[in-house]
Chain A
Amino acid sequence: MTTELWWEGFIMRTCLLIVILILLLPAPALMAQTPQAADVNAIRAQIDALRADYDKKIQDLQKQLEDLQAQLNRTPPPPPEQVVPAGVTGGSVSASKVFNPDISVIGDFLGAAGSNKVQPEPSMEMHETEVAFQATVDPYAKADFFLSFGEEGVTLEEGYITFPAIPGGILLKVGKKRAAFGKVNTLHNHVLPWTDRPIVTKNLVGGEDGIDSAGFSVARLIPNPFFFLEATGEVFRGDSGVNLFRSSERSQLIYVANLRGYQDITNNTNLDLGVSFARGHNDSGTSVGTTGDPFTTRLFDANATVRWKPLQRAVYHSFVGRSEYVWSKREQPGGTQNSAGYYGSIEYQLARRWFTGFRYDHSGQAENADLVDKGQSAILSYSPSEFSLIRGQYRRTNYADGPTANEFLFQVQFAIGAHGAHPF
Chain B
Amino acid sequence: MKFKVFLNILAIAGVIFACNVNAQAQSKLKVVATTEDLASIAAEVGGDHIAIDSIAKGYQDPHFVEAKPSFILKLKDADLLILVGRELEIGWLPPLIAQSRNSKIQVAADGYLDASLQAQILEVPSGQVTRAEGDVHPLGNPHYWMDPENGKIIAKEIFDRFVKLRPNDRAYFEPRYNDFVNRVNAAEKRWLALMAPYKGTKIVTYHRSFPNFAARFGLDIVGYVEPKPGIPPTPQHTLDLINQMKKDNVKIVMVEPYFDLKTPNAIGRDSGAQVLVMPPSVGGTKDVPDYIKLFDNDLAMLVAAIQKSAGK
> Which residue numbers of A lie inside 8 Å of B, CB to CB?
79-83, 85-90, 93, 136, 139, 142, 162, 164-166, 169-171, 220-221, 228, 230, 260, 262-264, 267, 270, 272, 307, 309, 311-316, 352-353, 385-387, 416, 419-422, 424
A residues near B143, Cβ cutoff 8 Å: none
How far is the CB of B137 from the nearest CB of chain A, in Å?
Answer: 9
A267 x B57 contact (CB < 8 A): yes
B124 x A90 contact (CB < 8 A): no
Q: Take A169-B76, A171-B101 as given contacts and tell me if A424 and B139 are in contact as well, using a CB distance cutoff of 8 Å.
A: no
B70 x A424 contact (CB < 8 A): no
A88 x B140 contact (CB < 8 A): no
How far is the CB of B215 from the nearest CB of chain A, in Å?
Answer: 11
**For the complex, what is the distance from the CA of A101 to the CA of B255, rounded to whole Å?**
36
B residues near A136, Cβ cutoff 8 Å: 107
A314 x B70 contact (CB < 8 A): no
Q: Take A87-B108, A142-B98 as given contacts and tell me if A422 and B73 are in contact as well, using a CB distance cutoff of 8 Å.
A: no
A residues near B68, Cβ cutoff 8 Å: 262, 264, 270, 424
A312 x B60 contact (CB < 8 A): yes
Q: Which residue on chain B has the smallest CB distance to residue A310? A: B60
B85 x A85 contact (CB < 8 A): yes
B124 x A386 contact (CB < 8 A): no
The residue that B135 contacts in the complex, of A88, A169, A309, A386, with Cβ under 8 A, is A386
Q: Is B231 an interface residue (CB 8 A)?
A: yes
The residue that A83 contacts in the complex, of B66, B139, B257, B259, with Cβ under 8 A, is B139
**For the complex, what is the distance from the CA of A223 to the CA of B65, rounded to whole Å?**
25
Q: Which residue on chain A has the smallest CB distance to residue B260? A: A316
Q: Take A164-B98, A171-B99, A419-B91 as given contacts and tell me if A82 and B124 are in contact as well, using a CB distance cutoff of 8 Å.
A: yes
B residues near A387, Cβ cutoff 8 Å: 131
A313 x B260 contact (CB < 8 A): yes
A264 x B70 contact (CB < 8 A): yes
A422 x B66 contact (CB < 8 A): yes
A residues near B204, Cβ cutoff 8 Å: none
A419 x B90 contact (CB < 8 A): yes
How far is the CB of A210 from the nearest CB of chain B, in Å?
Answer: 20
Q: Take A87-B107, A267-B57, A419-B87 as given contacts and tell me if A314 and B258 are in contact as well, using a CB distance cutoff of 8 Å.
A: yes
Q: Is B167 an interface residue (CB 8 A)?
A: no
B residues near A83, Cβ cutoff 8 Å: 124, 138-140
Minimum-distance CB pairs A-B, first 10: A165-B103, A262-B69, A228-B69, A311-B60, A422-B91, A169-B101, A85-B139, A419-B90, A421-B95, A312-B59
